Amino acid sequence: MKKLTLICLSLLLSCGAAFGWGEKGHNTTAYIAQKHLSCKAEREISRLLDGKSMAYWSSWADGLRSDERFDFISTWHYANADEGYTYATAPKLPTGDVYTAVQECIAQLRTKGQSDSLRAMYLKLLIHFVGDMHCPMHAGHASDRGGNGYRINFRGRDMNLHSLWDSAIIEGIHGWSAYEWAENIDHRIPRKERKAMAAGTPLIWMEETVVLSHSIYAATPQNEELPRSYVYGFAPLVEEQLLEGGLRLAKILNELF
């Protein structure tokens, strides 16, 4: 499905600081994940999150950037890879990245004897970082800081490629709320296809996002006004990334709890 989307997109376009998904993207991923939790997982997650929804906490990790106590997670939101690199071959940050963050959160949640407060913290971080892992510019080029140094013009606004993919493209596709996004992109998917979309491992998902990032750079002219077809051409890919992020987060949580 993803390969077909990219092929169609390239044909279409030939004719004409970085946060992850914005709040709406993270909320959408969390809403989808919550819909697919097992009863046992849902009960335990609700207990750890004080009865609040996963969407309530989905952007919590972004708010920690101004708290020096959480400086250790400052590089955990992304894993940049320049053109010609995969995630596996790209230089790694000694402070960790979004893939190692997901692995660390999973490991901490599996550790026996952890306090509920610590488990709740790592659960909130995991909800956020799985979303970040599926945001293409969080695997953008290291040379331009994940698209932050890549200038484009979108609907008359000068911005960078990272900001476009954090939230502007989601807002440009539909005016839906996060709940409406989740309902509209999830309900039509047959169970067998949802299971296939959730398959794989975090490492495989990370590598997929790197490939998508490279394709987006190739399809996005720098320092130019993007054509109207850009948003609609990428809409299926945006929907797919949000949906896969939610389904894969649910898979991880059902296995953990």
DSSP annotation string for 14-53: HT----SS-HHHHHHHHHHHHHT--HHHHHHHHHHTTT--
In the chain, the number of structural domains is: 1
CA distances from 148 to 104, 128, 174, 179 (A): 26, 20, 24, 28
Name the residue type at position 244: E
Higher pLDDT: 6 or 126? It is 126
Q: What is the mean pLDDT of residues 61-76?
A: 92
* DSSP H or E segment with residue 46: helix 39-48
Please give the average per-residue pLDDT across 113-131, as a whole number. 97
CATH number of the domain enclosing 144:
1.10.575.10
CA distance 94 to 171: 35
pLDDT top residue among 16 and 169: 169
Range of the domain at 103: 2-256
Confidence (pTM): 0.90
The model's pLDDT over 77-104, given as tens digits with 9 standing for 90+, comes to 999 999 999 999 999 999 999 999 999 9
Residue 243 is which amino acid? L
Q: How many C-beta atoms lie closer than 10 Å to residue 86's C-beta?
A: 13
